[in-house]
Every structure is written in structure tokens, then in C-alpha cells.
């Protein structure tokens, strides 16, 4: 059974994203441990893909660096296996359908169960086409996490009702990336989703400052940050560990 709900049991959840293999698998292991040490409640590990259509330039570059450094799905599973000997923080994969399909649904989700991966986010898998993947994932105790966006509108109720693990609310139109301001009516989206959702609601895309995180935490159950963490790694490379720890600690503190 997924441990995702535990991430939300001690108050507002801070969810941090990192691209596996950037700049190396070994450094990813170190950086995930720094996130956990700083109090990150749930960690998203990105499986790099050559065409990450939902990602902005920062995470696109991270995907390229990771693939160039030799990151593979098998190496990432081995990474999670090592991490599981050191942390109990819920872990979720974020990737695209192609790597999962290529690995094989049964083999992929069996390996998720073996390494205790709690869930998966697949941005290019439309809600209406999830069943083929969901049925396999559920058989191995892996939550298929759904997304709603500002364009979802009349689809929000249905997506929220079927949501597993947590519901990922996309704060802004477009791709991932740091934004100076978030102008979407998030309160209305959250309110609409809560009518039918039976899982916590977390907001992502564009959040990068403690002030933004604190504001969003007033209406949502969790805050997701990706590009800002990946940007720290881009700037500091192998030496990014202490900077990740400091940043994650500040963001977590802003949610209290």
C-alpha cells in the first residue's frame, strides 16, 4: 500500500523534485538524502526522457545532462533501492509514458513494488486514457497520480474523484519553470477539486520562493517545487548538496 498519505499527516507537505542522473546517479542519491534531511515530506524523482513536453528549459536541460551521463530506468530503480535502506520518505516517479511502456508495464510496476516506489506521475497520459496503466499499477500497490490544470474546468470533478495518492494541481498554463507571480485562480480550482477528491491536494508549477509557498499552503495541502531545485543543481553541480538542504529547509519552514 502506498505511503503517500503519510506525507500529509504532519501538516502542510513540502514536495521536492529532482531529475535522476543529473549530474550523476551517485550525486542524485546524495541530493535526495539532503532533501529528506531538510524535512521534505515527499520526493519526486524524475526519470529523464528525451522529449519531456511538460518541462521548461531548466528541467529539459537536466534531462539532457542526465541522459548524456548514462542514466537509465534500471539504474534509477537501483538508486531507489539504495535510498530505501536509508530513508522512509515517500517517493514518487515523474516520467513520460514512453519509458514506462518501453520497460513494460508489468515489469516496471513490479520493480516499483520491489523498490517501494509509492506512486507515479505521467504528464503525457491523459486522464481518459489512464485505465490501461492504472490497472497494472494498482496491482502492484503504486498510485497513478492525476493532474488538473487551469484548462481542466468541467473535467475537475471527475479527475478529482478518481485521484490516487494526491491530486497534482498545475498552477499555471504552459510548462514547468520559475515564475515571478502565479495569477491563476487557484482557490477556485482547489475548491472545485475538494468537492469530489478523497486525497490531499498539492500545487506545483512555478513555485520557487518561501512567500509563494506560504501563500499557496493556505489553500492547498502541499506545495511542489521542481525547477528551483534543479536550477540549484545546474548552478552548483556536484557541490549542490548544501544549497539544496538550505533551500528545502526554508521552503518547508514557510509552510508551517
pLDDT digits (tens, 9 = 90+) for 32-41: 999 999 999 9
Q: Residue 184 domain-assigned? A: no
Q: Residue 30 domain-assigned? A: yes
pLDDT band of 234, cuts 50, 70, 90: very high
Range 203-230 average pLDDT: 93
Q: What percent of the chain has pLDDT over 70?
A: 95
Count of the separate structural domains present in the chain: 1
Taking the C-alpha atoms of residue 173 and residue 187, their distance in angstroms, rounded to an integer, is 16
Asked if pLDDT for residue 179 goes beyond 50, the answer is no
Q: Residue 158 domain-assigned? A: no
Range of the domain at 102: 4-145+208-254
Top mean pLDDT of 31-35, 47-51, 209-213 is at 31-35
Q: Residue 32 domain-assigned? A: yes
pLDDT digits (tens, 9 = 90+) for 240-256: 999 999 999 999 999 98
Provide the pLDDT for residue 235: 97
Range 140-156 average pLDDT: 90
Mean pLDDT of the chain, nearest integer = 92
Short-list 48, 50, 42, 114, CA closest to 80? 114
Q: Residue 137 domain-assigned? A: yes
Asked if pLDDT for residue 175 goes beyond 60, the answer is no
Range 87-111 average pLDDT: 97
**Cα radius of gyration (the chain):** 16
Provide the pLDDT for residue 176: 47
Residue 228: which CATH number?
3.20.20.70
Short-list 131, 128, 66, CA closest to 94? 66
Range 136-159 average pLDDT: 91
Q: Which residue has the higher pLDDT, 92 or 208?
A: 92
pLDDT band of 184, cuts 50, 70, 90: low
SS (H, E, C) the chain: CCCHHHHHCCCCEEEEEEECCCCCHHHHHHHHHHHHHCCCCEEEEECCCCCCCCCCHHHHHHHHHHHHCCCCHHHHHHHHHHHCCCCCCCEEEECCHHHHHHHCHHHHHHHHHHHCCCEEECCCCCHHHCHHHHHHHHHCCCEEECEECCCCHHHHHHHHHHCCCCEEEECCCCCCCCCCCCCCCHHHHHHHHHCCCCCCEEEECCCCCHHHHHHHHCCCCEEEECHHHHHHHHHHHHHCHHHHHHHHHHHHHHCC
Evaluate whether 87 touches 36 at the Cβ level (below 8 Å).
yes
Range 2-14 average pLDDT: 94
pLDDT band of 172, cuts 50, 70, 90: low
Taking the C-alpha atoms of residue 248 and residue 229, their distance in angstroms, rounded to an integer, is 8
Chain position carrying cell 513490479: 110
Q: Residue 196 domain-assigned? A: no
Count of CA atoms in the C-beta half-sphere (13 A) of 67? 13
Q: Residue 180 domain-assigned? A: no
pLDDT band of 206, cuts 50, 70, 90: confident
Q: Residue 216 domain-assigned? A: yes
pLDDT band of 174, cuts 50, 70, 90: very low
Amino acid at each position: 500500500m502506498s505511503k503517500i498519505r503519510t506525507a500529509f499527516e504532519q501538516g502542510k507537505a513540502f514536495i521536492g523534485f529532482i531529475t535522476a542522473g543529473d549530474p550523476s546517479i551517485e550525486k542524485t542519491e546524495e541530493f535526495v538524502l539532503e532533501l529528506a534531511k531538510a524535512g521534505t515530506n515527499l520526493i519526486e524523482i524524475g526519470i529523464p526522457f528525451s522529449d519531456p513536453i511538460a518541462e521548461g528549459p531548466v528541467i529539459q536541460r537536466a534531462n539532457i545532462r542526465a541522459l548524456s551521463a548514462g542514466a537509465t530506468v534500471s539504474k534509477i530503480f537501483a538508486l531507489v533501492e539504495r535510498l530505501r535502506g536509508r530513508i522512509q520518505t515517500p517517493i514518487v516517479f515523474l516520467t513520460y509514458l514512453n519509458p514506462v511502456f518501453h520497460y513494460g508495464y508489468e515489469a516496471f510496476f513490479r520493480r516499483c513494488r520491489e523498490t517501494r516506489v509509492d506512486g507515479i506521475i505521467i504528464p503525457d497520459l491523459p486522464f481518459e486514457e489512464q485505465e490501461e496503466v492504472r490497472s497494472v499499477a494498482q496491482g502492484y500497490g503504486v498510485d497513478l497520480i492525476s493532474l488538473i490544470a487551469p484548462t481542466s474546468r468541467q473535467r475537475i470533478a471527475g479527475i478529482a474523484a478518481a485521484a490516487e495518492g494526491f491530486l497534482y494541481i498545475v498552477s499555471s498554463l504552459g510548462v514547468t519553470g520559475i515564475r515571478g507571480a502565479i495569477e491563476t485562480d487557484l482557490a477556485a480550482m482547489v475548491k472545485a477539486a475538494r468537492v469530489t477528491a478523497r486525497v490531499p491536494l498539492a500545487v506545483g508549477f512555478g513555485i520557487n520562493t518561501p512567500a509563494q509557498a506560504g501563500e499557496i499552503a493556505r489553500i492547498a495541502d502541499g506545495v511542489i517545487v521542481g525547477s528551483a531545485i534543479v536550477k540549484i543543481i545546474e548552478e552548483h553541480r556536484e557541490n549542490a548538496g548544501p544549497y539544496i538542504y538550505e533551500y528545502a529547509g526554508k521552503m518547508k519552514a514557510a509552510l508551517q
